Structure 1
Amino acid sequence: MVLFSHSTVIYPENDGILSKLKDLSGFFGIELFFILSGFLVGSSIYKLFIYNEYGFGEVKNFLFRRMFRIIPSYYLVLIINIIIYICFAFSLREVWKYFFLMQNVATPIPAFFPESWSLPVKELGYVIAVLLLYVFVTFFSNFSRKKIFFSVIFSMLILSFLAKVNYHFHSDNVDLSVWSQSVRGVMIYRMDSVLAGLLLGCLFFEHPHFFKRNKLLFAGFGLLFFLLFLASVMIFKLRLDNAAWFWNIFCLPLASVIVLMLFPMMLDWKKGPKRLVTPVKFACDISYSVYLIHYSIVLFLMMRLFDLKSYSQSELHIFTLSYLTVTLLLSVVFYHFFEKPINKYRLSNFKLRLINFGKK
């Protein structure tokens, strides 16, 4: 969905159905990414917090696993992007922020490596939640673990919502592209999407039968909310200049709710046709590599090398196919020769840490 959204920058701007699908695809693709990520990690954090000591060693091991899964590949691509920017004599004034995942914590991301905006949203949301839980369980050890857990997560959700409210009352922006950078792409306004997935992961772990039993009901509400979202934008024409409250405060939480409502039904899909297993697993394996290199490296360089303004529609289609092919091939190479070996080292090292921790 994100690849489709980004590949449409190859074509001239228009108001056709393809452009609308591009915007919708990228918008909900990112929401799915956030909530799925939160869901998958959420139950791990919850079980670690509720059923273990949750001391400093366990917190450190959890953060090590998460950061070592993401950071090495991210740093390598970050360095490649820096080299590319130096070659083109672009400014690297704020590049230091990227090494600490601080490029868009409270302000819009710079022009450099723009697709990386989603990493701080996802990763820092986990880190803050895990550290806050550690602080609270240390100082309030006599309180119920479940009450502490849900109090911390709900407090973070409320904080993110209030941040959007504050932005609304202090902004006069009416440009949707500015909104996309200033609200949709800023960590403090977006961490609620990841936390919503995290919350669902915990609730699904505690009450799996409830969600499975009511999966069609949830999916129905998700479809209803999706139609309401489309009607608000396309029929009632809610725009930033006439309904800033919708975009600044409610649009992103509504998108999260839509995706969340579909999860119980999707989680009940145990398996699909055998012919789909290999391509789906392949897509899962290389997805992070694709995410890291597809835009600021592959698409940026290809659009610099070729003058697309003189291309016909059929030539643009060929260029798009070439772009996707190059992205796929480079992602396979990146995954097999860097990401996969690093991940194997991470898993073996973590198992060794667990063994040593158990002996202590």
Structure 2
Amino acid sequence: MNDRKQISAKRFFGLDFLRALSISLLLFSHSSWIYNSTSLFGRMQDASGFLGVELFIVLSGFLIGGILYKQFLHENYGIKDAYLFVSRRLMRVLPSYYLVVSILTIVYMIFGFSVSQVWKYLLLIQNFAFPIPAFFPESWSLPVKEMGYILAVFLLVVSVKLFTKTSRKVLFLSVIIGLILLTFGAKTYYNIHSENLDLKQWSFSIRSVVIYRIDSVLIGVLFGYSYHNYKEFIMSKRKLFLAFGIILLALLFLCIAVFKLRLTNASWFWNILCLPLLSLSICMFLPILLNWKTPSERIGNLITFICNISYSVYLLHYSLVLFLLKYFINTSNFSLWQLHIFTILYVSITVVLSYLLYTFFEKPINEYRAKNFKLNDK
């Protein structure tokens, strides 16, 4: 959940806050397995996880988009630069990811669960074109991000070789917008040829599948490009962007809650428009967040701590920590206050293990990566 290299060497409290909010919403959402509530509170938990992941995807696209664009502008951009970019990305996410996948594989084998699909996870293709298997289901957003970047980088290399006289700005825009349109085409095809009338199935079949979701991360990339080229305009109109983002969110809410657009009567809205519009609305909040100053050193340190361990929390919290706790502790007859204590235990264990994973594994690898895999993005 944590892209440590930002659009500049400066840290932005607002973006750090958004990242911390994202992982907090995800933790809150997955605690629904503890309470099994069908009340308004339970629906809020489900919605929080939905929003948390979308924040994470768009924010990552924005941060990485600026880096990728600056690198692409370099005069001698080619295969070596693309390879270095992809190597940096994979070295950022894969070591901790592979460690957790290995631990989960051992756990599954001990409990007698199938691990026949694990090889897909090693290649980040577990949900490339089909719903993710039962193993490590929350990892679906990682391939969405990384495959989006890899596809974009590959096409950028091809474009710069084929169209040597074309402006780099035009090439970058053409590749990113082209991929977004391609994703829209895939979702349109799905909408025409599939009869999905269930929101849960929609989440597995559309929301969590790479070929239908890379538009969200690329919308973030596109906004990163826009910020790089039109920073002064965007920051001067940040309140206008904020207002537009609020209006977009309000329209989405009206479509769902007031106009009652459902998969049964408006599958096109859910399958094609809903997620990209949400991604666009999130982008509209970024300028105001870029200008948000740290309210106090204590709050800043807390947000920074959450950001530092957020990727480890993402990897550990659900399929490993919560699964094992639920396996060994039967909460079916717990009272409400006992469930609260169980939740505190779950969050505490997750935070402690995430801190250890970050401090003794993730951080040293990131330091090695920063020292030995330097991008030419100046």
Q: Answer yes or no: same fold by TM over 0.5.
A: yes
Distance (Å, rounded) in 2 between the aligned partners of 1:248 and 1:60: 34
Distance (Å, rounded) in 1 between the aligned partners of 2:282 and 2:369: 31
Q: 2:215 aligns with which of 192, 199, 209?
A: 192
What are the within-5 Å matches in structure 2 for residues 304-323 of structure 1? 304-323=327-346
Query: Hey, what does 2:27 align to over in structure 1?
Result: 3
- Which structure's relative contact order is higher, taking Cα pairs within 8 Å and 6+ residues apart? 2
Matched, 1:86 2:117: no
Question: What's the offset of the Cα at 1:339?
Answer: 0.6
Unaligned segments of structure 2, at least 5 residues? 1-24
Distance (Å, rounded) in 2 between the aligned partners of 1:208 and 1:171: 42
Query: Hey, what does 2:4 align to over in structure 1?
Result: none
Distance (Å, rounded) in 2 between the aligned partners of 1:241 and 1:55: 48
TM-score of the pair, normalised by structure 1: 0.95
TM-score of the pair, normalised by structure 2: 0.91
Q: 1:339 aligns with which of 347, 362, 369?
A: 362
Question: What's the offset of the Cα at 1:57?
Answer: 1.7
Matched, 1:144 2:178: no
Residue aligned with 2:54, SS: helix
Q: 2:371 aligns with which of 333, 339, 348?
A: 348
1:301-359 Cα deviation digits (max 9, x unpaired): 001011111111111111111100000000011111111111112122225x98xxxxx
> What RMSD, in angstroms, separates the aligned Cα atoms of the two structures?
1.3
Runs of 4+ residues deviating >6 angstroms: none
What are the within-5 Å matches in structure 2 for residues 20-169 of structure 1? 20-169=43-192
Matched, 1:247 2:270: yes
Query: Hey, what does 2:303 align to over in structure 1?
Result: 280
Question: What's the offset of the Cα at 1:220?
Answer: 0.8
Q: 2:250 aligns with which of 209, 216, 227?
A: 227
Distance (Å, rounded) in 2 between the aligned partners of 1:87 and 1:122: 31
Question: What's the offset of the Cα at 1:297?
Answer: 0.3
Counterpart residue type for residue 250 of structure 1:
L
Count residues with an aligned counterpart: 352
1:161-199 Cα deviation digits (max 9, x unpaired): 111111111111111111000000000111011000001
Distance (Å, rounded) in 2 between the aligned partners of 1:160 and 1:115: 22
Query: Hey, what does 1:301 align to over in structure 2?
Result: 324
Query: Hey, what does 1:358 align to over in structure 2?
Result: none
1:255-292 Cα deviation digits (max 9, x unpaired): 11211111111111143322211101101110000000
Query: Hey, what does 2:6 align to over in structure 1?
Result: none
Residue aligned with 2:326, SS: helix
Deviates more, 1:4-13 or 1:65-74: 4-13
Counterpart residue type for residue 308 of structure 2:
D
Matched, 1:271 2:301: no
Distance (Å, rounded) in 2 between the aligned partners of 1:164 and 1:116: 21
Query: Hey, what does 1:13 align to over in structure 2?
Result: 37
Residue aligned with 2:194, SS: coil
Distance (Å, rounded) in 2 between the aligned partners of 1:57 and 1:253: 32
Distance (Å, rounded) in 2 between the aligned partners of 1:130 and 1:237: 40
Residue aligned with 1:238, SS: coil
Counterpart residue type for residue 324 of structure 2:
L
Question: What's the offset of the Cα at 1:13?
Answer: 3.2
Query: Hey, what does 2:14 align to over in structure 1?
Result: none
Distance (Å, rounded) in 2 between the aligned partners of 1:117 and 1:23: 16
Counterpart residue type for residue 12 of structure 1:
N
Distance (Å, rounded) in 2 between the aligned partners of 1:44 and 1:30: 21
Unaligned segments of structure 1, at least 5 residues? 355-360
Counterpart residue type for residue 299 of structure 2:
L
Question: What's the offset of the Cα at 1:32?
Answer: 0.8
